[in-house]
Amino acid sequence: MPRSTWKGAVSFGLVTIPVKLYSATEEKDVSFRQVHPADGGRIKYKRVCEVCGEEIPYGEIAKGYETADGRMVILEASDFNDLPLPTAKQVEIVQFVDVDEIDPAAYNKAYFLEADGPGAKPYVLLREALKRSGKSALVKVALRSRESLALIRAEDDLLMLQTLLWPDELRDGAFAAPPDDVTATPAEVDMASMFIDQLSAPYDPTQFTDSYREALEAVVAAKLGEAPAPEAAPEEEGTGDVVDLVAALKASVEAAKKRREAAAKAG
């Protein structure tokens, strides 16, 4: 069972729900170490003070905040622990919202909420009320040395907390939009819609795997002599500039049909 990352309470009006917070995700990426290729030795870094030149042990390193005029303010652990934040241990629901009102780009990290001690009954109460309303609770919470907006939503038998980025943390992507004079014809949109229809299916994440991680693990196994060297993937020939989009999309639709038929026969 994972360790809880936060312990506090959710304030639901005059009802208090003691809870524990657990991360709902974990990274599965391949990890590397920086090494000397001649002998495989790990590369180590020293923490050296730029003023006195001495190497500083990790336990003696403090956090400093540099002001705009160059002054350095040293902060102690107690400065963070004693911040006058009501959200440090108490999550207050400020309003209820429809999930589709939230920009998907604002979603940050997901957590499981677990009822703590006598919190089981009010936990179930909030869960069932959210399910009936179809809404999520918007809250403010202080986690990992920062305060965030977050959503509490009902997911099957659980309450989940999803932290959100602040509005000023979302970049304006208008610069990436194509020029206004670039348009698609109705025929092109119709053919693109047919391609979308051919590849439309219920979302099942178990059908997908991390091919990059699998390929790296195969290379590592080969270097250890535990498996034959994997064959390199064939390079696809470039098609150059697509002049006839309708023809290209029509060919894509036909290819998608064949893939679906082959998958159906294999199944």
- Domains detected in the chain: 6-26+83-169 (2.40.290.10), 178-233+243-266 (1.10.1600)
CA 146/CA 80 separation, integer angstroms: 10
> What's the token pair of residue 230?
């994997």
Written as six digits, the tokens of 148 are 């965030």
> Which pLDDT does position 88 carry in this prediction?
63
Residues near 157 by Cβ (< 8 Å), separated by ≥ 6?
A: 127
Print burial letters for 106-137: b (CB count within 10 Å at least 16), e (below 16). beeebbbbbbbeebeebbeebbeebeeeebbb
Does residue 242 surpass a pLDDT of 60? no
Q: Is the dihedral of CA 242, 245, 250, 252 positive or negative?
A: positive
Which two structure tokens, joined as six digits, stand for 130?
């959210």
Average pLDDT, the chain: 86
HSE of 255 in the Cβ direction (CA atoms, 13 Å)?
6
Q: Tokens at residue 3, please?
A: 């360790």
Task: Answer for the pair 235, 220: CB distance below 8 angstroms, yes or no.
Answer: no
* pLDDT greater than 90 at residue 109: yes
Q: How far apart are CA 165 and CA 150, in angstroms?
A: 8
| Mean pLDDT to the nearest integer, 92-114 | 93
Q: What pLDDT, on the 0 to 100 scale, is given for residue 258?
A: 82
Per residue in 26-64, pLDDT (tens digit) is: 878 778 889 989 988 999 888 999 889 999 998 889 889
DSSP category for residue 189: H
- Reading phi first (left if > 0) and then psi (alpha if -120 to 50, else beta), residue 189 is in alpha
pLDDT value, residue 20: 93
- Judged against a pLDDT cut of 80, whether residue 95 lies above it is answered with yes
pLDDT for res 85? 63
CA distance 37 to 81: 44
Q: Point out which residues pair with 63 in neighbouring strands.
A: 75
Using 50, 70 and 90 to split pLDDT, how confident is the model at 107?
very high
Give 150: exposed, middle or buried? Use CB within 10 Å, 0-12, 13-18, 19+. buried
Give me the helices (H) in the chain, please: 77-81, 120-133, 186-198, 211-223, 245-266
Amino acid 84: pLDDT: 59
- Average pLDDT (117-141) is 94
State in Å, rounded, how far the first CA of the chain is from the last one. 36
Hey, is 37 helix, strand or coil? coil
Q: Beta strands 136-143 and 90-97: pairing type?
A: antiparallel
The SS3 of residue 123 is helix
Question: How many alpha carbons fall within 13 Å on the CB side of residue 240?
Answer: 2
Amino acid at position 165, single letter = L
